[in-house]
Amino acid sequence: MNAFSDVDPVYHPPLEPWLSLLHRDADFLVFDKPSGLLSVPGRHPALADSLLTRVQKDYPQALIVHRLDKDTSGVVLMSLNRKAHAFVAAQFEARMTEKSYVAEVWGHVGERQGLIDLPLAIDPHDKPRHRVDRENGKPAQTRWEVLGHGTDRTRLRLSPLTGRTHQLRVHMKAFGHVILGDAFYADGPALAAADRLLLHAENLSFRRPDGSEVTFTAPLPF
């Protein structure tokens, strides 16, 4: 899921650290992608710098398995051979992987946990933003639980059961608690409350080709 205009004139991806490698073996690479860096390059030459572009300078055979929005940080998985890629990509397709994110959202969430089940589609009048679309949208479900409260915010763990573009961001907006610093979906004090999107892919679990279950964690940057 790579949310970013292909002709954004103000793309200034972070340079330090250049790459943050969490794990390497014969089949996979796992990185902690910083906020502000594209997962894959855009079509416009100004958007050539990306996590994949950087990784392929050292590992030309690397293939990206899944993506994060430009402004989302956290765990990104890449494969080092076709067999491993097909094996784990099938798990993503079948929703057999487990992913959890941490987000800081605007306002006080009173309940402890819940499930958001709202179909999503691209907003034809405001691309590339997405919206809840009960008639034509694709099914989307997100589990959430409260981790803590601040003066004007709540920290949540978000577990997407589906993988729609902008799913967590649009679901949080529809929930009435937009993610802080979200330049696409927040405004006013919620947008000004952070200098980046406060959404981080903390954990990713999947099954390796040998059958073993593995989990990788990227430390919280906020």
Q: Does 69 participate in catalysis according to the annotation?
A: yes
Instruction: Calculate the alpha carbon distances from 26 to 116, 161, 163, 188, 204 in Å.
Output: 38, 29, 27, 47, 18
The amino acid occupying position 193 is: A
Which residue is catalytic, options 6, 25, 27, 69? 69
- The answer to whether 205 and 97 have CB atoms below 8 angstroms apart is yes
Tokens at residue 21, please?
């490698």
Distance, in Å, from the CA atom of 69 to the CA atom of 14, rounded to the nearest integer, reads 15
Q: Is 202 within 8 Å of 102 (Cβ atoms)? A: yes
> Looking at the annotation, which residues are catalytic?
69
